[in-house]
Structures are given as C-alpha cells and as structure tokens.
Amino acid sequence: MTKRPMAKIHVTALLLAAALVFQGCGNAKSKPLATVDGKVITVGDFEKSVSKMPSYYKNLASERKKDFLDDMINEQLIYKEALRRGINREREVRELLDEAKRKILIAKLMETEVKKSAVSEDKIKEFYELHKADFVTPLKLRASHIMVDTEAEANDILQKLKEGGDFAQLAKQYSKDPSKGRGGDLGYFIKGQLMPEIEEVCFKLQVGQASGIIKTKFGFHIIKLTDKIEPRVVELSEVRDAIEKELKDKAQQRTLDDLVKNLRSKAHIKINDKLLETGSDK
C-alpha cells in the first residue's frame, strides 16, 4: 500500500481532534478543521457538506471522515485552479452560471410563496365533511374459481360439489385456470375487475354459495363466493394526510398563479405571434 504524504498525516491529526470537538462545546463549528492556502475549512463547513449528502453517502462520510475531508480539500484546490485559469470568465461558463443563478432565485421565491399556503385543521375537516361521499369504500367480493374445457367436465364437478366435495381441492385437481394452485382463489375484487359474465353471477351469490355453470370464451366456469366486504365511510384519520396534500397543492398553485398574474399585470410584455408561428422551428 502506498504511504500517504506527511501533509495528510497532519490533516488526520486535525480531523481526529475535530471528531472529539464535534461532541463538545457550543462554538465547535467555528473551529478550523483544515487550512488550504490560507482558506479555512471549519468543523461547521465539514458538517454542512456531509448533511447535504444522500443518506448512504452521509453514513459513509461519517465513517471515513478523513477521505471526505481530503475530497473537500481537493475540490477547493481544483476550484482555485479553475479561477486562476480564468475559466469563470469564459462565455459558456458565464451563461451556465447565469442560468443556474436564475433557476435558484426562482426556486427560492417560489418556496417563499408556497410557505404562505398553510392548511388549517378546520379546512381539512370541512373538506372531509363536504366530500364524505367520495370517501366510501366500494363493495368488495372474494371468490374461488374452477375452469374446465367442456360442459360435461363442469357438470361432473358440480355433482361432486353437491355430494360434499371440497371446492378448493376440486379446483386444484380439475381447474385449467392459473388460480388452481391457490385452490381457485381469485382474491378480493370490485365491480369491473372480472369478466362481465362471471362478475354478474358473483354479485348475486351469497357468501359460501357456489354458482351453476358459466360459459365464457375461455371455457366453462364454476364460482364460489367466499367473502364479502360491505361499503363503509373511511374515517378522517385514514385520509387526513391525503386531504392535506390535496388542499396544499391547490393552495400553492393558487398562490403561484396569483403571483404570476400580478407580475404580468405590472410588466410590459409584447409577443411577436407571427414570428412565433413561422420562425420558431427554423
């Protein structure tokens, strides 16, 4: 393994000292962690850089502080070299910097405006009461299914069911449907999720009741209704967060629309529609 330069050993010592300071006094963040050509990197600078990283890299940086500090030092040296070479004065770079600055300022202004769009608990409750009909769960059914190729096979299975045969076992033994491995269980479903011919019969059955033979383009079917969950009004506590998000989104959009409308009313805007139509793609 290549030996690290002596300068890096000194930085390691500084970092180890700083790691202890992190736990200590209130002004620790202002203490110098390293100095690069006279520019100080404080404990606060280090912590701030780490805090901006995604969780995985944040944990990695916390475990390998020395390597991360080295990256900060290298970044500072490369940035200083870029300035020395005058890269910041190149036209393309200036345009990129201006564009980035414009987007940052716009984002910050929008963030400031959006903060004004608070949603009170009373507004959330009012919305819930006004839209209670929208917070009703649909009727849910659960059924099991046997599908065979011929009506004769279906009649034979029906006879076995009448003689006390177990639906799930018969499904595993005879069904051609992929659900046979689950004893024919189709799980829960709501209106509109099954084939119309089968669904129409399902919604007429009582729990525990099996159907007669149902013919579809796929074959001959026998259905057994195994459970039914009646509609219910969802409690406010279950939908509160969704309501708050919807109200916030609408409030924020109104705030931003009002801001733009106000700014456009004060501005002098002139658009060359002819040029826009004929010259925009040339």
pLDDT tens, position by position, 123-177: 999 999 999 989 999 999 999 999 999 999 999 999 999 999 999 999 999 999 9
Q: What pLDDT is attached to residue 3?
A: 43
pLDDT at 121: 92
- 234 against 18, higher pLDDT: 234
pLDDT at 65 over 90: no
- At 94-116, the pLDDT tens digits run 999 999 999 999 889 888 888 87
> Where in the chain are the domains?
6-85, 136-229
Distance of alpha carbon 113 from alpha carbon 256, whole angstroms: 7
Confidence of residue 4 (pLDDT cuts 50, 70, 90): very low
Query: 35-53 in b/e burial notation, b at 16+ Cβ within 10 A?
Result: ebeeeebbbebbeebbeee
User: What pLDDT does 252 receive?
Assistant: 87
Overall average pLDDT of the 174-203 stretch? 93
**SS3 of the chain: helix, strand, coil, percent, to 5:** 60, 15, 25
Return the closest-CA partner of residue 146 out of 169, 126, 123.
Answer: 169
Q: What pLDDT is recorded for position 282?
A: 52
The pLDDT assigned to 279 comes to 60
The residue behind tokens 């629309």 is 257
Report which residue type is found at 219: G
DSSP per-residue codes, 178-220: GGGGGTTEEEEE-TTSS-HHHHHHHTTPPTT-B---EEETTEE
Q: What is the CATH code of the structural domain delimited by 136-229? A: 3.10.50.40
* Per-residue pLDDT at 18: 39
pLDDT band of residue 20 (cuts 50, 70, 90) is very low
**Closest to 249 in 3D by CA, of 117, 106, 116, 127:** 117
